[in-house]
């Protein structure tokens, strides 16, 4: 492990288990849902047909669960960055995967969502630090989250 990666690991490790805060609210509109349906070829009426969706328990169209999941990158970008030593000497960041994903509640069209992050675990991996964050996507005005996922990333240092 490089000295840079070792120093960064020590900074990351200090915050293991801690709440990293919430990001900014972001609205999910019908245009975004329709575009996601086109890209993924998932045109189920509950996503793209507002008239037919009125007769569902949701009363309106809902975002695809995978759309909500894919928004984690955007939502996480507005999280507080934490101590500066976390990112000194970074070459790149890599998505490693998810240990757990749960779609708890649907995101209805027009809803605003944001992410809350907890730094679940930190591990050394050569010149990388592997971090697992529990990401909770909140829906404004709802007691239940849209999604909870353990997102695994690697931050690679020079």
The overall pTM is greater than 0.85: yes
Distance CA 63, CA 71 (A): 11
pLDDT, position 73: 96
pLDDT, position 80: 92
Distance CA 147, CA 62 (A): 14
Residues 79 and 23: beta-carbon distance below 8 Å: yes
Q: What is the pLDDT along the chain (158 residues), one digit of tens a residue?
A: 789 999 999 999 999 999 999 999 999 999 999 999 999 999 999 999 999 999 999 999 999 999 999 999 999 999 998 888 899 999 999 999 999 999 999 999 999 999 999 999 999 999 999 999 999 999 999 999 999 999 999 999 99
144 token code pair: 């239940």
pLDDT, position 62: 98
Question: Which residues of 2-146 form beta strands (DSSP E)?
Answer: 19-22, 26-27, 90-103, 112-125, 128-139
pLDDT, position 85: 85
What phi, psi does 4 have (nearest 5°)?
-65, -45
Q: Which residues touch 73 (CB under 8 Å, ≥6 apart)?
A: none
Architecture of domain 3-27+74-157: Roll (3.10)
- pLDDT digits 0-9 by tens, 81-119: 888 889 999 999 999 999 999 999 999 999 999 999 999
């Amino acid at each position: 492990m490089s000295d840079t990666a070792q120093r960064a690991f020590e900074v990351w490790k200090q915050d293991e288990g801690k709440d990293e805060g919430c990001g900014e609210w972001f609205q999910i509109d019908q245009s975004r849902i329709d575009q996601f349906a086109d890209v993924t070829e998932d045109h189920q009426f509950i996503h793209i047909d507002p008239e037919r969706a009125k007769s569902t328990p949701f009363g309106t169209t809902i975002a695809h669960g995978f759309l909500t999941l894919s928004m984690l990158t955007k939502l996480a970008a507005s999280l507080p960055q934490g101590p500066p030593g976390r990112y000194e000497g970074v070459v790149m960041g890599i998505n490693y995967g998810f240990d757990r994903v749960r779609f708890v509640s649907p995101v209805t069209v027009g809803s605003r969502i944001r992410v809350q992050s907890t730094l679940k675990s930190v591990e050394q991996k050569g010149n990388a630090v592997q971090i697992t964050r529990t990401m909770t996507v909140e829906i404004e005005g709802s007691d239940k989250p849209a999604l909870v996922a353990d997102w695994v990333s690697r931050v690679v240092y020079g």
